[in-house]
Amino acid sequence: MDYCPWLPASFARVIFAKRKWIDRMFALVVLIALPFVWCGMIVAISFVETPLKFKAPGITRELGVGIGRLVFRVLNLIEEVLALVIIVAWIFAAQNVPPVPGALLILSMVALAAQVLVLRPGMSARARALAGAEALAGAETADDGGSPVGGNATGSMHIAYIVTEVVKAVALPVAGAGIVMNVISLGS
């Protein structure tokens, strides 16, 4: 059984018994497409929407941070689903994922796990604390193009989150391209 060498053979036989070529081909299409879709979502939300949100007229820091927390919670949920679908597709087409693209996919998933399990919860607690402090002092607008998080604009968790976004935004399309190149080289 060549679907996934790290699964026990008996388990793989039960799950993947009598799979046809179309299953592997569909899985390969998913493995090629989803890293690019995932990367596009990251670029659109993290690098376009987020900075622009704080430049909109009338958006207070508190409101901008609240919108950001909601948007990133949903983005991370969608990313989790994409990661799971990629894992399932990878099981069906493991032989088409070379080591480097595979490592980049895993790196992206580890970065997502760090965001969801460590960084976002810490940043949410910080945002709640800052929102409470701003409510006491009177809400300020972000018309100056300043940081959405107030005072220390470059908190270590915020920087780590940005770094993980950059890691995913670079690793995902390179992984997708690596899988495409592998398929092309096999077809030659």
What confidence tens digit (pLDDT) does each residue in 45-73 have? 999 999 899 898 999 888 888 888 899 99
Query: Is residue 186 predicted with pLDDT exceeding 50?
Result: yes
Strands (E), 11-168: none
**pTM for the model:** 0.77
Give the integer Cα–Cα distance in Å for 47 and 19: 41
Average pLDDT over residues 128-133: 68
Cα–Cα nearest to 101, from 31, 42, 165: 31
The length of the chain, given as a count of residues: 188
DSSP code of 56?
A: S
